[in-house]
């Protein structure tokens, strides 16, 4: 008890003094936020719309607030296991039921920004992850595996890039889910799967394999270039939407200065 009290006091002191920095991993959320395009036979997630209820005027002289209309998977967001059919039978698979302890954990950041710049369809493989581990240490159980591609620095149509965006191959995802027991994967692109993943085996393996294993996803992250390969702590807590498949989320990392 005494020891944990000291630990927490040391953390709040370090945050106060700037010895531990907070890095925002979240993109701004606006009507301009890009949303994923699916083939027209499928339901579409709309862009965010914001309707002003009042702003210090006749309909509310002393207050300001808005009504939002958006898909659960808009902008920087969290994917719960129930998002995919492979996770539909799992216990506690929706945003309201996920254990709150799972919203905080260590981060491993794989930097594939050079490869993604050279080839927008670049895929992280098992061998690529193992080479990273040889250099930076094994990925601990319960870690967020964050893929830096610098995709968050792209704007306009370059961000969706006509569905040519980097990601993981299926074998890399099996390795992360089953041999490393990660919390989930986080990416800078619009979704956790590569842009061409609809044609992979299985289709959309980041969703199929990770959610089938009860793992989570984070999409449209930013500022991954400010994180060390290991050592950061990430907090990503979705809204407690009853039976939600995911939610926009404010994600941040604690980093040693
Ligand atoms: Mn999603």
* Three-class secondary structure assignment of 43-98: CCCCCCEEEEEEEEECCEEEEEEEEEECCCCCCCEEECHHHCHHHCCCCCCCCCCC
Q: How far is the CA of 154 from the centre of ligand 1 (A)?
A: 19
Residues of the chain with pLDDT > 70, as a percent, come to 100
Q: How far is the CA of 56 from the centre of ligand 1 (A)?
A: 35
Q: How far is the CA of 20 from the centre of ligand 1 (A)?
A: 30
State the catalytic residue, choosing from 69, 73, 77, 83: 83
pLDDT mean across residues, the chain: 97
pLDDT of the residue at 159: 97
Instruction: Tell me the per-residue pLDDT of 29-74, one tens digit each, with 9 for 90 and over.
Output: 999 999 998 989 999 999 999 999 999 999 999 999 999 999 999 9
pLDDT of the residue at 199: 97
Q: How far is the CA of 71 from the centre of ligand 1 (A)?
A: 9
Q: How far is the CA of 199 from the centre of ligand 1 (A)?
A: 18
Structure-token pair, residue 191: 């979704």
pLDDT of the residue at 2: 87
**203 band by pLDDT with thresholds 50, 70 and 90:** very high
Residue 232 has pLDDT above 80, yes or no: yes
Active site residue 83: yes
Q: How far is the CA of 73 from the centre of ligand 1 (A)?
A: 5
- 227/162 Cα distance (integer angstroms): 28
Residue 257 has pLDDT above 90, yes or no: no
Q: How far is the CA of 2 from the centre of ligand 1 (A)?
A: 41
pLDDT of the residue at 110: 98
The residue-averaged pLDDT of 148-175 equals 97
């Amino acid at each position: 008890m005494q020891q944990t009290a000291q630990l927490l006091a040391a953390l709040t002191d370090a945050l106060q003094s700037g010895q531990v920095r907070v890095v925002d991993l979240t993109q701004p959320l606006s009507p301009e936020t890009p949303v994923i395009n699916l083939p027209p036979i499928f339901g579409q997630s709309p862009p965010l719309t914001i309707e002003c209820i009042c702003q210090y005027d006749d309909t509310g002289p002393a207050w300001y607030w808005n009504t939002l209309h958006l898909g659960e998977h808009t902008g920087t967001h969290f994917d719960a296991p129930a998002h995919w059919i492979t996770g539909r039978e799992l216990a506690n698979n929706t945003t309201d039921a996920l254990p709150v302890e799972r919203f905080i954990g260590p981060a491993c950041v794989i930097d594939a920004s050079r490869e993604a710049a050279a080839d927008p369809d670049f895929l992280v493989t098992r061998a690529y992850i193992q080479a990273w581990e040889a250099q930076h240490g094994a990925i601990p159980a319960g870690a967020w595996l964050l893929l830096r591609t610098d995709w968050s620095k792209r704007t306009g149509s370059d961000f969706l890039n006509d569905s040519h965006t980097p990601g993981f191959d299926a074998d890399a995802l099996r390795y992360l889910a089953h041999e490393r027991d990660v919390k989930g994967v986080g990416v800078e692109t619009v979704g956790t799967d590569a842009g061409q993943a609809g044609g992979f085996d299985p289709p959309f393996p980041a969703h199929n394999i990770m959610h089938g294993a009860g793992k989570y996803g984070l999409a449209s992250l930013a500022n991954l270039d400010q994180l060390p390969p290991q050592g950061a702590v990430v907090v990503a807590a979705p809204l407690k939407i009853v039976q939600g498949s995911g939610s926009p989320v404010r994600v941040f990392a604690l980093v040693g200065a």
